[in-house]
Amino acid sequence: MLFDWSMDFPVVVMNTTLLNPGYQALKESAAWMDLSNRGKIRVLGEDRKRLLHAMTTNQIQKLEPGSGCYAFFLNAQGRILGDANVFVLDDAVLLDTEPETHQKLKDHLDRYIIADDVTLEDATSTLATLALEGPAAQDFLIQHAAPVPQKAYETTKWGDRIVARAGVTGEPGFLIFIPMAEKEDLLAQFSLSGLGEATLEDARTVRIENAHPRYGEEITERYLVQETGQMNAVDFAKGCYLGQEIVERVRSRAQIHRILRQVEIDSKEVPEPGAKLQAPTGDAGEIASAILSPSLEKVIALSYIRVQFADPGTRLTLGSATAVIKR
């Protein structure tokens, strides 16, 4: 495939010149990131959707090729083993996972394949993942004759590449899955077009500003589904799956004591994970992650807050600093 990668790409210039270029591009235009270390598991066989439906929190069985969803994998106690973007393709289901969890999830699925016609293929080393994120990401794809999936978690084919409407920062974006041997050529084309690179630290800063949690940092086996607030990962009408009893019990009894919230802290000192937020009556929450926002020039944190203090606008403290629940 040959495309004209030399055409001008619009870049929005921010008022400040002090921001990191990758961060600025993610917030104001678009940037690419090399996420090839993310896990990729191809699930093959006639029973692939049936197995995944029984092993995840979301609706898989009814998904048609070209569609997808976000889902958790749970253990029998309802604790979150990992998460995945689930993309249903013509001949397989592609699971896009965090680097830390792809082997754990592959082993977890493999234990439950008994009489099923299902094969698991680790494609992490053969399939690269490039992210294109930012407000102008879609315009960039359109300008360069790439197909653009329209709905969240939809996929389209771009030659032997797969373009998915999904991302890691909470900004509008796409994941491009491409044979590893073709990655450098596509990155060279990105560079010729004027599209800049964002680092993983840029991505982390933006996703925390966007209250977009990541498994392995804000979401771990320590937490229940409802505590994460990521209810787009759950279909309460889908029927039985591993861990469902706990999820349903929590839903029916409204029994959670903490929930993940974004907190704005009037300070430039970034607290460590585990730092305690205080209300006048005592501990109100615990910080899971925090960054110094380049644009706000104050700390933004994702924190597990006791439900009685979790309403937006609630004022807490972290040491001598004021902390406000944002969302």
- Give every residue of the chain whose pLDDT is below 70, as ranges: 1-18
pLDDT tens digit sequence for 264-275: 999 999 999 999
Residues 184 and 307 in one domain: no
Q: How far is it, in rounded angstroms, from Cα 206 to Cα 113?
A: 38
At 313, the amino acid letter reads G
> How many C-beta neighbours within 10 Å does residue 28 have?
18
Helix (H, G, I), strand (E, B) or coil at 276: strand
The one-letter amino acid at 196: G
Sign of torsion over alpha carbons 16, 17, 18, 23: positive
Residue 233 is assigned to a structural domain of this protein: no
Residue 18: what pLDDT? 62
**Is 89 in contact with 155 (CB distance < 8 Å)?**
yes
193 and 132 share a domain? yes
Assess whether 151 and 86 both reside in one domain: no
Task: Identify the CATH number of the domain in which residue 319 sits.
Answer: 2.40.30.110
Structural domain contains residue 13: no
Q: What is the pLDDT of residue 19?
A: 79
Kindly state whether residues 31 and 49 are assigned to the same domain.
Answer: no
* 28 & 149 share domain: yes
Do residues 98 and 141 lie in contact, with contact meaning Cβ atoms separated by under 8 Å? no
Q: What pLDDT score was predicted for residue 246?
A: 95
- In one letter, which amino acid is 161? R
Q: Which long-range contacts (CB under 8 A, 24 or more apart) does 184-187 make?
A: 186/130, 186/161, 187/32, 187/34, 187/130
Instruction: Please say whether the dihedral angle defined by the alpha carbons of residues 208, 212, 213 and 215, taken in this order, is positive or negative.
Output: negative
273-283 per-position pLDDT tens digit: 999 999 999 99
Collapsing DSSP to helix, strand or coil, 86 comes out as strand
Express each pLDDT in 76-105 by its tens digit: 999 999 999 999 999 999 999 999 999 999
**Contact of 246 with 240, CB cutoff 8 Å:** no
In a shared domain, residues 142 and 108: no
140 and 186 both lie in a single domain: yes
Query: How many angstroms separate the CA atoms of 66 and 86, rounded?
Result: 11
CATH number (domain holding residue 75) = 3.30.70.1400
Helix (H, G, I), strand (E, B) or coil at 147: coil
Coil/strand/helix, residue 230 = coil
186 three-state secondary structure: helix
The closest alpha carbon to 122, from 132, 110, 113, belongs to 110
23 token code pair: 């961060």
Q: Tell me the residue range of the domain where 192 lies.
A: 21-36+126-209
Provide the token pair at 116.
Answer: 């099923």
Whether residue 289 lies inside any domain: the answer is yes
Last residue of a domain, one of 81, 103, 122: 122
- For residues 9 and 195, is the Cβ–Cβ distance under 8 A? yes
Give the β-pairing of 258-265 and 196-197. unpaired
